[in-house]
Amino acid sequence: MTTNTDVQLYIGGAWRKTKDTLPVVNPANEDVIGTVAVAGSADLEDALTASADGFRVWSRTSPWRRAEVILKAAALLRERSEEIARSITLENGKPISESRAEVIRGCEFFEWDAGECVRLYGRVIPSEPGVRYVVVHEPIGTVAAFSPWNFPMSQPARKIAGAIASGCSIIMKASEETPTGVVHIARAFEDAGLPPGVLNLVFGIPAHISEFLIPREQIRMIAFTGSTIVGKHLTEIAARHMKPALMELGGHAPVIVCDDADPIAAGIASASRKYRNSGQVCTSPTRFFVHESIYERFTKAFVEKVQSITVGDGLDGATEMGPVANDRRIEALQALVDDGKARGAKLLCGGGRLQRRGYFFAPTALAELPDDARAMREEPFGPLALINPVRSIDEAIEKANSLPFGLAAYGFARSAANVDRLARGIEAGNVSINTLEASRAETPFGGVKESGLGREGGAEGLYHYMVVKNISHVVE
């Protein structure tokens, strides 16, 4: 299969074509493989009306029924996982094995939130006889959600799961560059019996959609994953209208390799993880601070592993790293690499675009960069690792915390004392020691500082989609 489909809007339980469309491009060969609908103001108006209708029905639907529909949709997505995985790879470029894993992860988000939604307990506050104070959590209303192109299925899944499990309705704008993953989600929910209007999909011009929807009365909450700059912009609009914003933004994840870690194992594990999704992951391990006593061995193991990575079309089962998502990433990466080299960094491997069709950038590692190199301060969001020696854990922690980001951070250490220093010292929403996995359905995920507001997943996730109501009752 070399072409994808023509993606339509989904509003009030019906699929809708539009006059204007945008092309969808396969990043592995730059072919146009389909189109995506562009919503106009009238479509967005209809989505608002439909989502208000959906909310009226769904917010009064029992949690057991909500869970049943979500679990049925997740089961359908699992059945359809191969078709979904292929569409993800066609539009995003990642290896098909990663697309398959993404679909399963998206299903886990649904399954976890379905389990949580029947346990959204309130509480009874102690009071004098004849008086009851009862605290309940109610769904907040319609959510306007925006998700990016790096995880076309699991990113929208997380937001749709949170909204629908909590009893909200949602207008979801996923990425126009990778629109099909969320279409599969909508089809699964349609087949699972979700009432019309609870889940609506729109695509189009991102700024038009967000600026149209966020101020509107029906929208009670914003959820966004993407760059910090866009996240700040949307948070400002939300603040002007006094609406809460759940923001999962950029990171620039540090990895601290302590002197008691196994440098070979850490080097291989780091290189294996760094180039997942061509490094286009907000939690991608990027700034490596390696104790000087094991620096050479770590770096050698890292580079040897990188040199074994097979780069190619993600539909080829042998491919371990695909293209980056678009030519914007190529330009941004090249600028960071050139700046690093100009400031004296050593190029360990890779360094530029691969001369073939498609948006391929070689898996790249730079070493010994000065702190003011652009790549050390700006999130590369691509296959670029930055490796620096440090003299102590304290120096590494100070460097790790020196940026305005704090999403994921990693450490490799054996002694309990080193593990404790890393876990306490690093400013991040997620600190992972001796593993490069940052989040799972059951663990809360999100950032500190400019990496975001709020948490997705875990026991905490659904509460963002709810408001607290206190009911005081004097018994007559």
Active site residue 258: no
The edge-to-edge listing of strands for the beta sheet with 131-139 is 123-125, 131-139, 466-474
Among 27, 54, 141, 226, binds ligand NAD (CB under 6 A): 226
Minimum CB separation of residue 99 from ligand NAD in Å reads 16
Active site residue 282: yes
Minimum CB separation of residue 259 from ligand NAD in Å reads 32
The dihedral built from the CA positions of residue 295, 448, 182 and 327, taken in this order, carries a sign that is negative
Minimum CB separation of residue 245 from ligand NAD in Å reads 12
Structure tokens at 409: 């951070």
Structure tokens at 17: 């074509």
Write the interaction track for ligand NAD spanning residues 153-192; mark x where CB under 6 A is met and - where it is not: ----------------------x-----------------
Looking at residues 236 to 255 of the shown chain, list those that interact with ligand NAD (rule: CB under 6 A). 248-250
Among 196, 206, 444, 458, binds ligand NAD (CB under 6 A): 206
Residue 150 lies near ligand NAD (rule: CB under 6 A): yes
Structure tokens at 144: 């306007």
Residue 8 lies near ligand NAD (rule: CB under 6 A): no
CB nearer to ligand NAD: pick between 289 and 381? 381
Of 411, 372, 42, 407, the C-alpha closest to 252 is 407
φ, ψ dihedrals at 128, nearest 5°: -75, 160
Among 32, 131, 135, 207, binds ligand NAD (CB under 6 A): 207
Coil, strand or helix: which one is 72? helix
The contacts of residue 330 (CB under 8 Å, 6+ apart) are: 324, 353, 359, 361
Coil, strand or helix: which one is 449? helix
| C-alpha–C-alpha distance, residues 300 and 369, integer Å | 17
Contact 254, 400 (CB under 8 A): yes
Among 212, 359, 360, 381, binds ligand NAD (CB under 6 A): 381
Q: Where are the beta strands (DSSP E) in 58-114?
A: none
Write the interaction track for ligand NAD spanning residues 121-140; mark x where CB under 6 A is met and - where it is not: --------------------
Among 18, 210, 270, 286, binds ligand NAD (CB under 6 A): 210
CB nearer to ligand NAD: pick between 448 and 467? 448
Go through 438-467 and write b for each residue having 16 or more CB atoms within 10 A of its CB, e for each that does not: bbebebbbbbebbbbbbbbbbeebbbbbbe
Instruction: Please identify every residue annotated as catalytic.
Output: 248, 282
Q: Which residues bind ligand NAD (CB under 6 A)?
A: 146, 148-150, 175, 206-207, 210, 225-227, 230, 233-234, 248-250, 282, 328, 379, 381
